[in-house]
Amino acid sequence: MLSSSENIEKLISELANLPGVGRKSAGRLAYHIANTPKEKIDSLISAIKNVSENIKRCKTCFTLSDGDICNICANENRNKKQIMVVENERDLLAYENVGEYKGVYHVLGGALSPLTGIGPNELKIKELMMRLKDDIEEVIIATNSSVEGETTATYLAKLIKPLNIKVTRIASGVPVGGDIENIDEVTLLRAFNGRLTL
C-alpha cells in the first residue's frame, strides 16, 4: 500500500514500530502530525530528543533519571529505609500513580528467566545487596506474579532473609472488580490462602 505521500508513508512505518501502535493508529497519528501547527510538533520532537539523548539510569535505584540520582531517591521526604524492588520503570510508575508508597525503589531491569538466559548477573541484584548494607527496615518485592517474577521473588527472599531485614511480597489475589467465576484457579487459591480477618 502506498499513501499519497512518501513522507507520510515513512512516518507511518516508523510509528507502527512503537509498542502498542498498529498501522491504523500509526496512520491516524501521522495525519494528526501533518495537520498540527509546526510549533506544537517541534515541542513534541524536542521532548523525544531530550529523553533519547539525555536520559540516564539513577546510580542508586537504576530507574530512568535526568541526573546521576533520580527525583525519587533525591527526595528528602521519601523513606530511604523502605525499598520496593520492581522489574522495570513502568512498574515503578504504576506504583507512583497510586501515590500511597513513600519509600524508595530498586529497578532490577527484568526478572530471572533461565530459559532466555537471564540469570542473577543480568539483573541489578548485586547492586541491591550493596544497598542493604545500610540501615534498611523493609524490602518489598513487587515483581510480577508471572513465573519469572515469582522465581525472582523467591530467589531474592532467600538472599535477603539471612540479613535480618524484613522481606515482604505484594499480595496476590482477586483483582478489584474481578468476577470470581472468570478467575483462574491459581489466583483463587492464592486469594483463599491469603485471606484476611475482617
Cell numbers placing 67: 541526573
CB of 151 to its own copies, least distance (A): 23
Least distance (Å) from its own copies to the CB of residue 122?
15
What's the Rg (C-alpha) of the chain? 21
Is 101 a residue that touches its own copies (CB under 8 A)? no
Q: How far is the CB of 132 from its own copies (least distance, A)?
A: 21
Least distance to its own copies, CB of residue 59, Å: 12
Stretch of 45-53, 117-125, 168-176, 187-195 contacting its own copies, by CB under 8 A? 45-53
Q: Do the beta carbons of residue 105 and residue 63 sit within 8 Å?
A: yes
CA distance 173 to 181: 13
**146 is a contact residue toward its own copies (CB under 8 A):** no
Q: Establish if 48 lies at the interface with its own copies (CB under 8 A).
A: yes
Amino acid sitting at position 120: P
Contact in structure between 61 and 50 (CB atoms under 8 Å): no
Q: CA 73, 74, 79, 81 torsion: positive or negative?
A: positive
Helix (H) or strand (E) segment spanning residue 82: strand 79-86
Residues lying near its own copies in the complex (CB under 8 A) are found at: 1-8, 10-11, 13-15, 17-21, 25, 27-34, 36, 38, 41-45, 47-55, 58, 61, 63-66, 70-73, 88-90, 92-93, 96-97, 99
